[in-house]
Amino acid sequence: MLLYQNQELKVYNSLSKEKEIFKPITEGFVGMYVCGPTVYSNVHLGNLRTFMSFDVIFRYLKHLEYKVRYVRNITDAGHLEEDEVQNSEDKIAKKARLEKIEPMEVVQKYTVDFHKVLDTYNLQSPSIEPTATGHIVEQIQMIQEILENGFAYEINGSIYFDVTKYNSKHNYGILSGRNIEEAIHNTRELDGQSDKRNPQDFALWKKAEPQHIMKWTSPWGEGFPGWHLECSVMSTKYLGEEFDIHGGGMDLKFPHHECEIAQNVACTGHAPVRYWMHANMLTLNGQKMSKSTGNYILPAEIYEGGNPILNKKFTPAVVRFFMMQAHYRSILDFSNDALEAAEKGYVRLMDAIKLIPHLKTSNLSQFDVKQWQQACYDAMNDDFNTPILIAQLFEGVHQINLINDGKVQITAEDLSVLSATLQAFVFDVLGIEQPNSNQDSNKLDGVVEMLIEMRNEARANKNWALSDEIRDKLLALGIQLKDSKEGTSYTLLS
């Protein structure tokens, strides 16, 4: 028996607006696609929250012993400053122009930053991380199919998706609930949109102006693909015409995901995705964290310091614990106080885990470990409810403390289930790391180096009393200094 066969996972599907029992298309296998970043600037903590939400979903599916193929793209072309506005600049090309570097330098710089941030915050790598520029051929092919099926038209070297035509046969608005006829009626013609038949139509391919740097050859002349297209193309290529889960931030529901569905349906005649999942926003001062408004904090500012929002530095593990205390579909507000509260909870959790090897066992159990373990699963099975899971984990912490105080008895067998369950959920599923012993030893290195330098200075000044005091006090702490021709080193006495 594999774990998922014993658990009933329910997932909130944004399409049906209901929690549904999760049943993958192919038993035992899950295909999941999540929209990745546009790599034109550093990811902020809001972006990180969305990727972390899907990291936990990925981790739990794997914990349930599904074989998961997780695809998360990198948008390195085609994302315009303003959606669907004529001559709007590509975000990456604009940054390249401003910084006087190549667009691919912009892409490289921010892709490296993105990976570093995700690694620091203990996110697991997806199975495939495809780029838009690596899939131009496939994007041209999909446009041709949509043209052949009559759902797109060419004007002046650009190809637009014909929303009105599509909506006469299918439902444009199926995900976002937007009424397209009303929208068409209410939208005034924007400046520069004149080459589209209808303001609701969106670009599949844009003709490149002569000054445009990022452009490719196509049957319609030189140009570049529309942003919505890459996700339809790459999800189909790696997960098939129909796959299990598609995720992204709530703000991508419309137009991005609505357009994705329309493109796929226009090609294949059927819906591409079984479960659409949307993660909610991280806010700061009650407003959505966003690069464009300046209302954001960078992930590195939290552990390096330097942002006046924070009174002190916090470790990535504490931030992760803070994020996990909210359900992925709830808005979460970031603040110094909230992080301080999370830090207290995190320390309490880690202290309890450290206590486990020292607990005394007996020949009876006064704590129903199996029932508690199932309650942990039930929390995650209920649409990945991490705050309820954390409440259950603290029930485990409470019991550990009672056992430690001799107020509750537990058998060795039950204690090992308690320990394994707690560790699996905290470290594997929630991805919360233990205090990093590596970091601690780096700090120790730095401190001892500093004292060795001070001792050398004292010796140079013939201040033997101080140099001996430094050596002796370190020795009393179990740190032995050794002088040699190469200099002074130290060993830890056990």
Nearer to Zn ion, 180 or 231 (CB): 231
Residue 35 CB, nearest approach to ligand AMP (Å): 5
**Residues paired with residue 30 on neighbouring β-strands, in sequence order:** 68
E runs forming strands in 262-318: 273-279, 282-284, 287-288
What is the C-alpha separation between 271 and 276, in angstroms, rounded?
A: 11
- By CB under 6 A, residue 78 contacts ligand AMP: no
With CB atoms as reference, the residue minimizing the distance to ligand AMP is 249
Min dist. Cβ of residue 426 to ligand AMP (A): 23
> Where would I find the H helices in 170-221?
180-186
Pick the binder of ligand AMP from 30, 208, 261, 289 (CB under 6 A).
Answer: 289
Q: In sequence order, what DSSP letters do the residues of 103-148 get, joined into one string?
A: HHHHHHHHHHHHHHHHHHTTPPPPSB--BSGGGHHHHHHHHHHHHH
Residues 6+ apart with CB under 8 A from 475: 481, 493
Q: Minimal distance in Å, beta carbon 54 to ligand AMP?
A: 9
Is residue 91 at the binding interface for ligand AMP, with CB under 6 A as the rule?
no
Strand partners of residue 225:
205
**Residues 242, 270 contacting (CB under 8 angstroms):** yes
For ligand AMP, the binding residues in 259-288 under the rule CB under 6 A are 281-282, 288
Which among ligand AMP, Zn ion, none contacts residue 64 (Cβ within 5 to 8 A by kind)? none
Distance CA 84, CA 158 (A): 12
Locate 298 and state its tokens: 């960078």
Shortest distance, CB of residue 301 to ligand AMP, whole angstroms? 15
Sequence-distant (≥ 6) Cβ neighbours of residue 24 within 8 angstroms: 30, 31, 66, 244, 274
* 77 part of the interface to Zn ion, by CB under 5 A: no
- Pattern of binders to ligand AMP over 30-49, x per CB under 6 A? -----x-xx-------xx-x
CB nearer to ligand AMP: pick between 45 and 64: 45
38 binds, among ligand AMP, Zn ion, none (CB under 5 to 8 A by kind): ligand AMP
Interface residue with Zn ion, options 35, 281, 302, 319 (CB under 5 A): 35
- The residue behind tokens 């050596």 is 471
Q: How far is the CB of 296 from ligand AMP (least distance, A)?
A: 8
Q: Which does 281 bind (CB under 5 to 8 A by kind): Zn ion, ligand AMP, none?
A: ligand AMP
**Size, binding site for Zn ion by CB under 5 A:** 2
Residues forming beta bridges with residue 10, ordered by sequence position: 21, 382
State the residues that interact with Zn ion by CB under 5 A.
35, 231
State the residues that interact with ligand AMP by CB under 6 A.
35, 37-38, 46-47, 49-50, 248-249, 251-252, 281-282, 288-290
